[in-house]
């Protein structure tokens, strides 16, 4: 009998231990949340600080602040939601996407090792075992 990729490696009767990478992922998610909230704060800075258009090569500071504020809020919401998702296959995929988002920026040094360990069968089994 062949082993399917979608089936858990452990039989359902055995309890699955929480992999250490889940804790590291939560720290990574907290760091991402911090970075995106920092972008929000930077956007607020453009609204309250006396910055002229000449300092921004002609771009209005309100527009620059709006871009930073909007993008920071949009990106911090999924980070915050990630802390409250119950274990399920969908949550594992959501967290995988959050790791992949980090591949495009300065967090690539954290994202690559997380991605390597996140794709291991133990992590998939742990999230599949949390299914109702």
The pLDDT tens digits for 56-108 are: 777 788 888 899 999 999 999 999 999 999 999 999 999 999 999 999 888 99
pLDDT of residue 3: 53
Q: What average pLDDT does the structure give for the chain?
A: 86
- According to DSSP, residue 72 is labeled H
pLDDT of residue 118: 95
pLDDT of residue 22: 94
> Is residue 7 pLDDT above 60, yes or no?
no
- List the end-to-end C-alpha distance of the chain, in Å, as a whole number: 27
Contacts of 26 (CB under 8 A, 6+ apart): 83
Q: Which two tokens stand for residue 31?
A: 């760091």
Neighbouring C-beta atoms of residue 15, cutoff 10 Å: 8
Task: Tell me the pTM.
Answer: 0.80
Please give the Cα distance from 12 to 5 (Å, whole number): 15
> Is residue 40 pLDDT above 70, yes or no?
yes
């Amino acid at each position: 009998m062949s082993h399917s990729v979608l089936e858990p490696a452990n039989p359902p009767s055995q309890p699955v231990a929480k992999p250490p990478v889940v804790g590291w992922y939560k720290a990574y998610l907290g760091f991402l949340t911090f970075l995106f909230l920092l972008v929000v704060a930077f956007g607020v800075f453009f609204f309250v600080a006396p910055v002229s258009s000449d300092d921004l090569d002609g771009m209005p500071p309100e527009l620059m602040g709006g871009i930073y504020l909007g993008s920071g809020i949009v990106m911090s919401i999924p980070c915050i939601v990630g802390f409250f998702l119950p274990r399920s296959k969908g949550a594992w995929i959501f967290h995988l996407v959050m790791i992949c988002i980090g591949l495009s920026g300065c967090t690539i040094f954290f994202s690559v090792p997380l991605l390597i360990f996140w794709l291991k069968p133990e992590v998939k089994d742990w999230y599949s075992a949390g299914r109702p």
